[in-house]
Amino acid sequence: MQGAAKSEPTRPGASKEAASKAPATDRAAADTRDRLLVERLKAGDNRAFEELVRIYKDRIFALSLRMIGNRQEAEDLAQEVFITLHRAIGSYRGEGRFYTWLYRIASNTCKNRIKYLRGRHFHRSVPVDDTPEANVPAGEAGPGNPLQSRVHGPEAMAEGNRIEAAVQRELAALDPEHRLLIVLRDVQGLSYQEILRITGLQEGTLKSRLHRARVALRDRLKPHLA
């Protein structure tokens, strides 16, 4: 047809470039959404608080469950995190992403609870492999990492469940600081920059601690993988 516009040839790598821009666009939109909700919450709008809870409750519960290994304790922890959020929102100055500020609260709450539970000789009662919420994605940062998602068939599924249970059991034996780094990086897929903001560590310290944590977990898992 005369006058029809000629289609532009596809530039090599254009689709890959567009795909790489999409996550950045999503993150920017999420940051804008969070900033507006925080402003409303600071102004006393409780509906904004309810919306923040709706957005982040599954991610905070997933972190808590991986750190504690017990559903009831994880539910209590997640509730405590959001109570702290509501009380401390006035101290949030908008530096960095709201997401990492909330995760800092959650991480500190988990570590404090672990110390408390150790003093009471607490024993975990719910295997994490029976709890899909443990693998909830961390949001824009990346997907969760359940072993079961990479195996097929009844026997393979059973083996995946066995290994997943062993991972959680040996993860729980690590120092809480090491446990936290593995959960943030290897389970929830957060970036190094996000983890730096959450933990307040220097980059070199973060990488060296994460390396030691991985080595320790790998050594503890050797008997289960033989």
DSSP string covering 125-167 = -S-GGG-GGGG---STT-----GGGG--SHHHHHHHHHHHHHH
Residue 144 in tokens: 């969760």
Q: What is the mean pLDDT of the chain?
A: 81
Q: What is the largest CA-CA distance in the chain?
A: 82
Distance CA 9, CA 145 (A): 38
| 32-87 pLDDT per residue, tens | 999 999 999 999 999 999 999 999 999 999 999 999 988 999 999 999 999 999 99
Distance CA 80, CA 104 (A): 13
Q: What percent of the chain has pLDDT over 70?
A: 70
Phi and psi at 203, nearest 5°, equal -60, -45
CA–CA distances in Å: residue 155 to residues 87, 145, 148, 152, 159: 49, 20, 11, 8, 6
| 147-185 pLDDT per residue, tens | 444 445 556 666 666 777 878 888 888 999 999 999 999
Helical segments of the chain, H only: 14-42, 46-68, 71-88, 98-119, 154-171, 176-182, 192-199, 203-225
